[in-house]
A and B are shown apart, each in its own frame.
Chain A
Amino acid sequence: METPGFLPMARLQTLIDTLIDDGFRCVAPQVRDGAILYDTLDKVKQLPKGVTQEQSNGRYRLHQTDSTRNFAWANGPQAIKPLTFAPREELWYSEVKSDGSLKFYQAPTETEPVAILGVRACDLAALALQDQHFQHSFPDPYYDARRKRLLLIAVHCTHPAETCFCASTGDGPEARSGYDLSLYETDLGYFVTAGSLAGEMLLHRLPLEAGDAALFAAARGETGAAADAQQRQLPEGDLQAMLFGNLNHPQWQAVAERCLSCGNCTQVCPTCFCHSENSVPSISGQSTAHERQWDSCFSPGHSYIHGITLRKDTASRYRQWLTHKFGSWHEQYGRSGCVGCGRCISWCPVGIDPTEELAVICKDSAGDSA
């Protein structure tokens, strides 16, 4: 790979200014309530400079260091998902007209251009999966409008958390595609590459210097080291066959004793797309809004059909989550639904780790499917 142009640390503000001049709302990671969240930003100093993190089962902590880096952490509870697949949104509304007839309207969708600075490889992979679901399998105008307004600036990950396993799923820590611009962070600044025509045009307007080949090699080396540092991994072999061959494995019951069935894993998962819809009538009785909101396979409503909740107990709900995410997802989307971001491990209030559950459940059949 040719040495890309270099944006010195002191000139990162130019990138943000350029985006804002081009009419983008710039969204970037910032420290909020003890976590790294994506929020609107216009100054470099709002970035989490020197912030590192510690993640483990059911635990997430930030630490301040004197590092000059802005992206020395793995991820926070959010991916890009809330910006494309809104947690709650109005789909349509209807009104009673004076002649008693009903009139239906499609709710307006956000189209304001948004540039996200600091996207991780795992989240780009997740976005590609959500694109498959919302733009191809079941075209969704609300998702589509939000998706098309995005400009994505990836920062290759050099600080994986203990919970990360993107190397095992093949989705990181180095972003390979799906971005407009990508940055390799070093202590002194950023090597900048383009991944799209829009990114290429943006790159040419940045005050880049000639990059130092040795420094770039070291920067790329850091992403390699970030892969090597990861401890967790998915079991080898055909997970779909192994999971569906173990539907009565005693581990489903064992995990259900710990699982709170709270759905946090599915809400922080960047690829989960389940939702419920409900009507919100006005008090006048003359109009009603129809809303969609994030749902979870851990909720009673998810398997409610004709007066019956099919999956009443936690064992069957946990099995649904794992067999879909790692099993039948292959049939639907040609790959597993897991991108190795590890959020389900960190943000589970009781620290359940699906990679451990998979290892136990798939262990007995590992020989058959190799």
Chain B
Amino acid sequence: MHNLEKKPRIAVHKFSSCDGCQLAFLNLGGDLLELTRRVEIMHFLEAGLDAPEAEVDIAFVEGSLSTQDEIERIRKVRESSRYLITIGACATAGGLQALRNLDNQHEQWRDAIYAKPEFIKTLNHARPIADEVRVDFELWGCPINSRQLLAAINSLLFGVPPIDDRDKVCLECKRQQRVCVMVTEDKPCLGPVTRTGCGALCPSFGRDCYGCYGPADNPNTASLSKRFAGLGLLPQAIARRFLLINSAAPAFHDAGLIARSGVSGDDSDD
């Protein structure tokens, strides 16, 4: 890890996404002003800065690769950036758009949804950024939050690699002394296989985690699926738990397909 220049330059690029992760910057409020004392923001369309070609020290990339144009664009971003950090589920694992990868009916969906499908130029599969270019660090989440973002920026500004926290949501849920919704209410919580970072947000409001931070270290999706079946979930319902925000992340993808095949323990059918 190299030390960055005196006032490092950053860019925030958007690909196929809802713009929600970029809000992690804008939601910083006063801290955003503080941040601009330490870094120079070169490109950030959502904040009104338009210089996509600028050479930067850190490029934050939101969104998946969904069009041919985006594939060309990400290569240019990579070339003009010292570090490239993906922000959010779309950039890191394909996001919701990657649901279209699952049934191989890209054209049928496109034609059914859009009034003028001939203007839509999308790839059959939505892909994570790392499929195309080297990614230096990934921030998971749908959306990411300002805490994660600041931690990553701060680490880089201090010249150390950001901490890659792959612990499960459960650890944070217990630190916050939340009552387990699976044990007390039979809710099919994905916390035991999902990466921490959200602050155990859903269980804090009495609902089950739906895995928006993607797979944690060492996720035992087979055992959790079996438990969900024990709670009364049918195979299709179990599959939908895994095939949602991060359906293209390998651990969730495989678990979803296994559940969908209805035969726990078999290899996935892809």
Q: Which residues of A contact B (CB under 8 A)?
A: 32-35, 37, 58-61, 77-78, 82, 87-88, 257-264, 267-268, 278, 280-281, 283-285, 293-296, 299-301, 312-314, 346-347, 349-350
CB < 8 Å neighbour of A346 from B183, B218, B224: B183
Closest to B153 in A: A283
Q: Which of A32, A257, A264 has the most CB of B within 10 A?
A: A264
Q: Which of B87-95, B174-182, B238-246 has 4 or more CB atoms under 8 Å from chain A?
A: B174-182
Interface pairs (24), CB distance under 8 Å: A35-B184, A257-B223, A258-B220, A260-B168, A260-B193, A260-B223, A261-B168, A261-B218, A263-B170, A264-B174, A278-B163, A281-B154, A284-B37, A284-B38, A285-B154, A294-B171, A299-B171, A299-B217, A300-B167, A346-B183, A347-B183, A349-B180, A349-B182, A350-B226
Closest to A59 in B: B183
Closest to B150 in A: A283
A294–B168 CA distance with the chains assembled, in angstroms: 13
Contact at A314–B227, with CB atoms within 8 Å?
Answer: no
> Told that A283-B34, A284-B38, A349-B224 touch, could you supply 14 new A-B pairs with CB distance under 8 A?
A35-B179, A35-B184, A58-B183, A78-B177, A257-B220, A257-B222, A259-B223, A260-B168, A263-B171, A267-B171, A294-B174, A299-B217, A312-B218, A313-B218
Residues 20-58 of B contacting A (Cβ, < 8 Å): 28, 31, 34-35, 37-38
Contact at B224–A32, with CB atoms within 8 Å?
Answer: no
Closest to B169 in A: A262
Contact at B189–A349, with CB atoms within 8 Å?
Answer: yes
Tell me whether B185 is interfacial, beta carbon within 8 Å.
Answer: yes
User: What's the minimum C-beta distance from A17 to chain B, rounded to whole angstroms?
Assistant: 27
Contacts of B85 in A (CB 8 A): none
Q: What 0/1 pattern do residues 135 to 155 of B give for CB contact below 8 A with A?
A: 000000000000000110010
A317–B201 CA distance with the chains assembled, in angstroms: 27
Total of A-B residue pairs, C-beta within 8 Å = 122
A82–B166 CA distance with the chains assembled, in angstroms: 24
Tell me whether B129 is interfacial, beta carbon within 8 Å.
Answer: no
Contacts of A87 in B (CB 8 A): 174-177
Contacts of A257 in B (CB 8 A): 220, 222-223
User: What's the minimum C-beta distance from A342 to chain B, rounded to whole angstroms?
Assistant: 13
A284–B39 CA distance with the chains assembled, in angstroms: 11
Tell me whether B192 is interfacial, beta carbon within 8 Å.
Answer: yes
Residues 87-135 of B contacting A (Cβ, < 8 Å): none
Contact at A350–B227, with CB atoms within 8 Å?
Answer: yes
Residues 224-242 of B contacting A (Cβ, < 8 Å): 224, 226-227
Contact at A77–B180, with CB atoms within 8 Å?
Answer: yes
Contacts of A32 in B (CB 8 A): 179
A295–B167 CA distance with the chains assembled, in angstroms: 9
Contact at A82–B154, with CB atoms within 8 Å?
Answer: no
User: What's the minimum C-beta distance from B148 to chain A, rounded to whole angstroms?
Assistant: 12
A230–B223 CA distance with the chains assembled, in angstroms: 29
Tell me whether B157 is interfacial, beta carbon within 8 Å.
Answer: yes
A285–B153 CA distance with the chains assembled, in angstroms: 11
Contact A262-B171, Cβ < 8 Å, known A60-B183, A347-B180, A350-B227: yes
- CB-CB nearest 6 A-B residue pairs: A267-B174, A87-B175, A262-B192, A260-B192, A34-B184, A262-B170
User: What's the minimum C-beta distance from B6 to chain A, rounded to whole angstroms?
Assistant: 12
Contacts of B63 in A (CB 8 A): none
A34–B192 CA distance with the chains assembled, in angstroms: 20
Contact A299-B179, Cβ < 8 Å, known A281-B154, A284-B34: no
Closest to A57 in B: B183
Contacts of B174 in A (CB 8 A): 77, 87, 263-264, 267-268, 294
Contact at A349–B38, with CB atoms within 8 Å?
Answer: no
Contacts of A88 in B (CB 8 A): 175
Contact at B184–A60, with CB atoms within 8 Å?
Answer: yes
A146–B114 CA distance with the chains assembled, in angstroms: 62
Contact at B179–A33, with CB atoms within 8 Å?
Answer: yes
Contacts of B224 in A (CB 8 A): 260, 349-350
Contact A283-B31, Cβ < 8 Å, known A88-B175, A264-B180, A300-B166: yes
Contact A301-B158, Cβ < 8 Å, known A59-B183, A314-B218, A349-B183: no
Contact at A285–B157, with CB atoms within 8 Å?
Answer: yes
Q: Which of A77, A82, A300, A349 has the most CB of B within 10 A?
A: A349
Contact at A300–B217, with CB atoms within 8 Å?
Answer: yes
Closest to A35 in B: B179
Contacts of B175 in A (CB 8 A): 87-88, 267, 293-294
A257–B206 CA distance with the chains assembled, in angstroms: 28
Tell me whether B256 is interfacial, beta carbon within 8 Å.
Answer: no
Q: Which of B31, B38, B183 has the most CB of A within 10 A?
A: B183
A281–B151 CA distance with the chains assembled, in angstroms: 8
Contact at B220–A283, with CB atoms within 8 Å?
Answer: no
User: What's the minimum C-beta distance from A284 to chain B, rounded to whole angstroms?
Assistant: 5
Closest to A301 in B: B167
Contact at A33–B184, with CB atoms within 8 Å?
Answer: yes
User: What's the minimum C-beta distance from A355 to chain B, rounded to whole angstroms?
Assistant: 18
A300–B164 CA distance with the chains assembled, in angstroms: 11
A37–B171 CA distance with the chains assembled, in angstroms: 18
Contacts of B171 in A (CB 8 A): 262-263, 267, 294-296, 299
Contact at B158–A350, with CB atoms within 8 Å?
Answer: no
User: What's the minimum C-beta distance from A241 to chain B, rounded to whole angstroms?
Assistant: 30
A283–B39 CA distance with the chains assembled, in angstroms: 11
Contacts of B185 in A (CB 8 A): 34
